[in-house]
Amino acid sequence: MNGLASTGFGRFVSRHVAVLLARNTLVSCVVFAFDLGLLWLLVHYGGLGKLAAAAIAFVAANTLHYVFGRTWIFRGSERGLAAGYVYFLFNAIVGLAVTMALFAALLEYTSINYLVARTIVSVVAGLVVFFLNATLNFRSV
């Protein structure tokens, strides 16, 4: 073996992974719009602090994402529904930790609007969670 395949990274460079990532990106965009809308509602109408609201919106959006992940992105998973949801939530907790740390840092050290900061952070956290789910939960890669 040579090149990417010999590093183990090669399994992430395929048409199959590209299709999974494209599906995940589409779902992520829709679910993220839901996340931002809920964040805005919780801050402006719910009176919650920005970090607490971001955490609640993140968990709600990830639960919705699991439904799409199970039925369309990673369809055909052999993992049971409940076990898959637990794995998905564990991966979401990793994503939440990345999200909250980067979100808090951007709010603290920049003058970026909180919705823009959350959008920036979502790219990094989203990729981390995608690869965790693709490899550990749904075992599609």
- Tell me if 9 is assigned to some domain: no
Q: How many CA atoms lie within 13 A of 67 on its CB side?
A: 7
Residue 81 lies in a domain: yes
Q: What is the pLDDT of residues 29-60, one digit of tens each?
A: 999 899 999 999 999 999 999 999 988 998 89
The answer to whether residue 23 is domain-embedded is: yes
List the domain range (segments joined by +) for residue 72: 19-137
Report the pLDDT value the prediction gives residue 9, as an integer from 0 to 100: 63
pLDDT at 3: 52
**Per-residue pLDDT tens for 79-94?**
888 899 888 989 988 9
Is there a domain that residue 56 lies in? Answer: yes
Q: How far is CA 51 from CA 57, 89, 108, 122, in A?
A: 10, 19, 12, 14
- Number of structural domains in the chain: 1
Does residue 7 form part of some domain? no
